[in-house]
Amino acid sequence: MFVILESKLISNAMSRFVTLLNSFAARPNDSKSDTFDKLLILTISLCCGFSGLIWSLMYYVVFDFGLTMLLPLGFIVIVGSGMLVSHFMRDHRPLLYAQLACITWISAFIQWSIGSMENSGLVICWSFLGPLGALIFLSLRQAILWMIMFIFIVIVSAWYEPALLGTPLEVSEPVRIMFYVMNIGTSLIIVFIATSWFVRRIKNEKRRSDKLADRLQALFGQHVSKEIAEELITKDGDVGPGKYFDVSVMFVDIRNFTTFAESRAPREVSNFQNLVFGEFINIVREHKGIVLQALGDGIMAVFGAPVENEEHALDAIQAGYAILKKVQELSDNGEIPVTTLGIGLHSGKVIAGEVGNEFRKFYILSGSNVIVAARIEQLNKEYSSQFLISKSVYDRINQTSIEYKFKGEQLLKGISKPVGIYQLV
């Protein structure tokens, strides 16, 4: 019973201690990263303060009462004051700067109070924790300043070996060895632990970033091809403001869809749309295109934006043929009723870019060439055809690779100049 009670008391004490540490300089809006940084600098300061106490006792035994013995106690007082100030200010920076300054300069003053790098056991090794801590908690630019301080301390210590007490303090060989072991060993252990933590944090952040990038690519890849998703992600997903692209715009319409939808059960209509549109999206993606809109009876797609593609016209034609072939296969297999399509394709300059606000953005195309593509698709009803392209598309491809019929020039609604129309068969 006594053992169980003692175990509970220890557990409760540890729990309260951890809670106390986590409450250090805490603010309600602190992020997990803020909380972790505050806990880390507090833990480092407590460990260094405890080391300072040991060093002070050690110097008292070796050198008796004096400046060398008092300097580690000064470290404890300054850093301890920084803890209190930081906690009441809810800001860990006072403690951080107190810790960096003390570990850098008090270590140097201890070195200079002993007056010999050899007799001090290279106690200035501790000063290197200053630039290392600045690199972890501050910025590279600030860390360089702390590194310059450290180099200055090393040069002064090696070149001048100043003795603040007038003459260097003498130590015995066993004490000198002990100093070397404690200063070099302990400081490098702390460097190793800090570096390990730093590297581990970088690796964890990289794993998180990789997972996030994979998730973004998976989500974004539902709308565009894998290649385009990767291209945009490497540019931080910023497709930028609207700019001109040379593209091929495709409109695909499912003929008599309204009649079909009104005569079938909602589930049957939904299943038809999921199957057919799913195939449309896959085919467009496979041919380096993007489906920009999916309406109830058709889609609008673009080839050549936001990633430029010199072969966009050929890719668009191949995608159109593939769509017609797939719909025919689904119909022949009895997966969908007999379905007729209307595909219109036109190439030219458009303005492409994002519009919207911070809540929702859309990637849209603007310009007369978008209207031309839509009007060409509608001509399929007039010609009883399924696949029409403009002369602009025709001129960009190798005509011997396709079968076509020239339908003449058409004056399209809203377009001032007539457009040459070709039917692909």
Q: What would the mean pLDDT of 401-408 be, rounded to a whole number?
A: 90
Task: Supply the pLDDT for residue 2.
Answer: 47
Start-end of H helices in 254-399: 257-263, 266-286, 312-332, 368-383, 391-394
Q: What would the mean pLDDT of 177-191 be, rounded to a whole number?
A: 85
Name beta bridge partners: 346.
249
Task: Supply the pLDDT for residue 19.
Answer: 65
Q: What would the mean pLDDT of 46-56 be, rounded to a whole number?
A: 87
Least confident of 47-51, 89-93, 200-204, 278-282: 200-204
- Domain range for residue 244? 239-424
Q: Are residues 197 and 280 in the same domain?
A: no
Q: What would the mean pLDDT of 287-301 be, rounded to a whole number?
A: 90
Percent of the chain topping pLDDT 70: 87
94 and 86 Cβ atoms separated by less than 8 Å: yes
Q: Are residues 302 and 203 in the same domain?
A: no
Residue-wise pLDDT tens digits, 11-50: 555 556 556 667 787 888 877 777 877 888 888 888 888 8
Q: Which of 219-228, 239-248, 342-351 has the highest mean pLDDT?
A: 342-351
Least confident of 32-36, 160-164, 217-221: 217-221
Q: Please give the Cα distance from 336 to 330 (Å, whole number).
A: 6
Task: Supply the pLDDT for residue 240.
Answer: 55
Q: Are residues 186 and 44 in the same domain?
A: yes
Token pair for residue 392?
A: 């602009």
Residue 230 lies in a domain: no
Parallel/antiparallel/unpaired status of strands 404-410 and 361-366: unpaired
Q: Are residues 54 and 197 in the same domain?
A: yes
Task: Supply the pLDDT for residue 344.
Answer: 97
Token pair for residue 362?
A: 């859309």
Q: Please give the Cα distance from 300 to 258 (Å, whole number).
A: 18
> In CATH, what number is assigned to the domain containing residue 318?
3.30.70.1230
Give CA 14 to chain center in angstroms: 36
Residue-wise pLDDT tens digits, 239-263: 555 689 999 999 999 998 888 888 8
Residue 149 lies in a domain: yes
281 and 291 Cβ atoms separated by less than 8 Å: yes
Residue-wise pLDDT tens digits, 115-141: 888 888 889 889 998 998 898 888 889
Q: What would the mean pLDDT of 3-8 be, rounded to a whole number?
A: 52
Domain endpoint, select from 213, 229, 250 = 213
Q: Are residues 167 and 284 in the same domain?
A: no
pLDDT for 155 beyond 60:
yes
Token pair for residue 278?
A: 């799913």
390 and 317 Cβ atoms separated by less than 8 Å: no
Residue 222 lies in a domain: no
Which of 278, 345, 293 has the alpha carbon at shortest distance from 315?
345
Residue 234 lies in a domain: no
Instruction: Kindly tell me the burial class for residue 296, based on how many C-beta atoms sit within 10 Å of its own C-beta (0-12, 13-18, 19 or more).
Output: exposed
pLDDT for 301 beyond 70:
yes
Kindly report each contact of residues 56-59 with a partner whose C-beta sits within 8 Å and lies 24 or more positions away, as own/partner.
58/182, 59/110
Residue 292 lies in a domain: yes
Q: Are residues 284 and 189 in the same domain?
A: no
Residue-averaged pLDDT of the chain: 85
pTM for the full predicted model = 0.54
Task: Supply the pLDDT for residue 215.
Answer: 66
Distances, alpha carbon 12 to alpha carbons 2, 16, 23, 132, 415, in Å: 15, 6, 16, 35, 80
Q: Are residues 92 and 192 in the same domain?
A: yes
Q: Are residues 310 and 379 in the same domain?
A: yes
Helix/strand/coil for 99: helix
pLDDT band at 170 (very low <50, low <70, confident <90, very high): confident
Q: Are residues 209 and 274 in the same domain?
A: no
Which of 161, 53, 65 has the alpha carbon at shortest distance from 114?
161
Q: Are residues 146 and 243 in the same domain?
A: no
Q: Are residues 128 and 41 in the same domain?
A: yes
Task: Supply the pLDDT for residue 207.
Answer: 82
pLDDT for 372 beyond 80:
yes
217 and 233 Cβ atoms separated by less than 8 Å: yes
Instruction: Kindly tell me the burial class for residue 322, based on how many C-beta atoms sit within 10 Å of its own C-beta (0-12, 13-18, 19 or more).
Output: middle
Total structural domains within the chain: 2
Q: Are residues 195 and 333 in the same domain?
A: no
Note the residue count of the chain: 425
All residues at 6 or more sequence positions from 158 whose CB lies less than 8 Å from its CB, including other chains: 117
Q: Which of 4-13, 86-95, 203-212 has the highest mean pLDDT?
A: 86-95
Name beta bridge partners: 301.
250, 291
Residue 304 lies in a domain: yes
Token pair for residue 252?
A: 């695909």
Q: Please give the Cα distance from 121 to 368 (Å, whole number).
A: 80
Residue 227 lies in a domain: no
Tokens 């730093």 appear where?
198
Q: What would the mean pLDDT of 381-404 be, rounded to a whole number?
A: 92
Residue 219 lies in a domain: no
